[in-house]
Chains A and B, each alone.
Chain A
């Protein structure tokens, strides 16, 4: 299925979008896509089919976000912890990823037309070599787009991201670019995979888990972001309205200031190059 959905909305969906746009819209929304396997069990299909349907629903959600004017979306697709699943399942997920990234490359003109830039965050070096190439190609072909950003967290955990930042800083010190005293919170922040991103305003975890742990993600230091657990991927549109309204009100209740994001130091290129080799 295509990455860019161009289906028309129903009248009530258009109404919902227009009403929501009268209030404040979060600039960055993050999604944790959970519950694919449970959905597959419920529907009596294979797990990989569940993941595939999850992807289809994701493309719909991305379409809604684009319409609502959400500039940045982060999607947690695959965690390093998920490598612990059975070899068969991991291989199937990697095949699904290959298929989707190939499709993305085929549709890069459409992505460029919408001004969407793709960033894949995580330790890409842990993926199979051909998938790494596809990932880098996707990023390179859309990197000049500025309208909207889609961050795909693939092979990502927050601890690995923070460790990677420390390694980058250590490399800088070894190359005499930095001194130990230069190591501050800001510098570490600038070495994270997510340095170009704003902090998420809203984190949505699908699947209806009531009280869930923050799954090994989200390093974005500090900052109040609200997260809301919502029902299955199926009924997202209706719940989306409640989520948006509660988030708009939430931002009035919580009055803490978020730190500004600073993108002056660009260490991204060594990262991409080192993952190609």
Chain B
């Protein structure tokens, strides 16, 4: 029996080693993945759109990228598949603020004006000031129509009164925010209502007094082979589409473009 057990342990070690190699190889392949050339995406609602993406070279100049992103954004909007709120989940422990700013710029160029940046421990939330300063520089790089928009950076959830839907809104969140919001809302509901009056619509109405609302899309950076929501407010993840993306420090425009196009071509059945 001892020999058999030894055999199993050796096999286990071997399989784990191969798996680790597989992970490392996937990350390497992802790093050197070729840029988008022509792609046909099948869109919902019986319409086929052939979207020829401009070849985006690594380090391409900003004008090309932003035109590409604007085009994609307007196509998605036409098909009603442009998310209003995108949640960026960072699974990496080291956060590169400059890179995050660039990613925000890409989303804004596409027409997404509400973005939440989430990481479990709150590293992003602690860099609020740095992000505010760097975002001011972002405005100059935006396409013409967006330069007049103001940028607001919030920590955690924010009440309706303090939120302006005309500006570009960035929310910095960590795992405390979702639960503490729900507890706060629960306290208010219990204070004001009888237990027999409490139903799902009451709770929904109370939570919707806070922004950001449910994200339509959640992009998980840095988790190539599996997903985790890392404690993002569970209430808000009802119909959220979750997609993976490479590590945010190595993310390129074509990764974001392919993520958005895949989001645009997915079909949700809502339980039916």
A211 interfacial contact with B, CB 8 Å: yes
Which B residues between 99 and 122 are near A, CB-CB below 8 angstroms? 120-121
Over the window 166-183 of chain B, the binary record of Cβ atoms lying under 8 Å from chain A Cβ atoms (1 yes, 0 no) is 000000000100111011
Choose the segment among B58-66, B124-132, B195-203 that binds chain A (4+ C-beta atoms closer than 8 Å). B195-203
Residues of chain A with a CB closer than 8 A to B93's CB: 255
Complex CA gap A188/B181 in Å reads 12
Cβ of B9 within 8 Å of any chain A Cβ, yes or no, is yes
User: How far does the alpha carbon of A23 sit from the alpha carbon of B226 in the complex, in Å?
Assistant: 19
Contact check, A162 vs B271: say whether CB atoms are below 8 A apart: no
A175, chain B: closest CB distance, angstroms: 9
User: Given the complex of chains A and B, what is the CA–CA distance between A166 and B121 in angstroms?
Assistant: 27
Chain A interface, >50% SS class: helix
Stretch at the interface among B10-18, B44-52, B145-153, B249-257: B10-18
Query: Among the listed B195, B202, B229, which residue makes an inter-chain contact with A171, where contact means beta carbons less than 8 Å apart?
Result: B195
Minimum C-beta distance from A86 to chain B (A): 9
Residues of chain B lying within 8 A (CB to CB) of residue A185: 179-180, 182-183
Note all chain B residues with C-beta closer than 8 A to A246: 19, 23, 225-226
Chain B: residues with Cβ within 8 Å of the partner, total of 58
The reply to whether A174 and B230 form a contact with Cβ atoms under 8 Å apart is: no
Q: Which residues of A contact B240 (CB under 8 A)?
A: 213-214
Q: Which residues of B contact A67 (CB under 8 A)?
A: none
Q: How many residues of A contact B (CB 8 A)?
A: 61
Interface residue? A18 (CB, 8 A)? yes
Query: Is there a chain A Cβ closer than 8 Å to B162's Cβ?
Result: no
As a 0/1 sequence over residues 168 to 199 of chain A, the CB contacts with chain B under 8 angstroms (1 = contact) are 11110110000010011100100000000000
Tell me whether A223 is interfacial, beta carbon within 8 Å: yes
B120 and A256 contact, CB distance less than 8 A:
yes
Choose the segment among B34-42, B74-82, B135-143, B231-239 that binds chain A (4+ C-beta atoms closer than 8 Å). B231-239
A residues 110-142 near B (Cβ < 8 Å) are none
Say yes or no for B186: interface residue by CB 8 A criterion.
yes
Contact between chains at B200 and A159 (CB < 8 Å): yes
6 extra interchain contacts, Cβ-Cβ under 8 A, other than A19-B11, A247-B226, A256-B120?
A19-B8, A21-B8, A22-B9, A166-B186, A170-B193, A188-B183
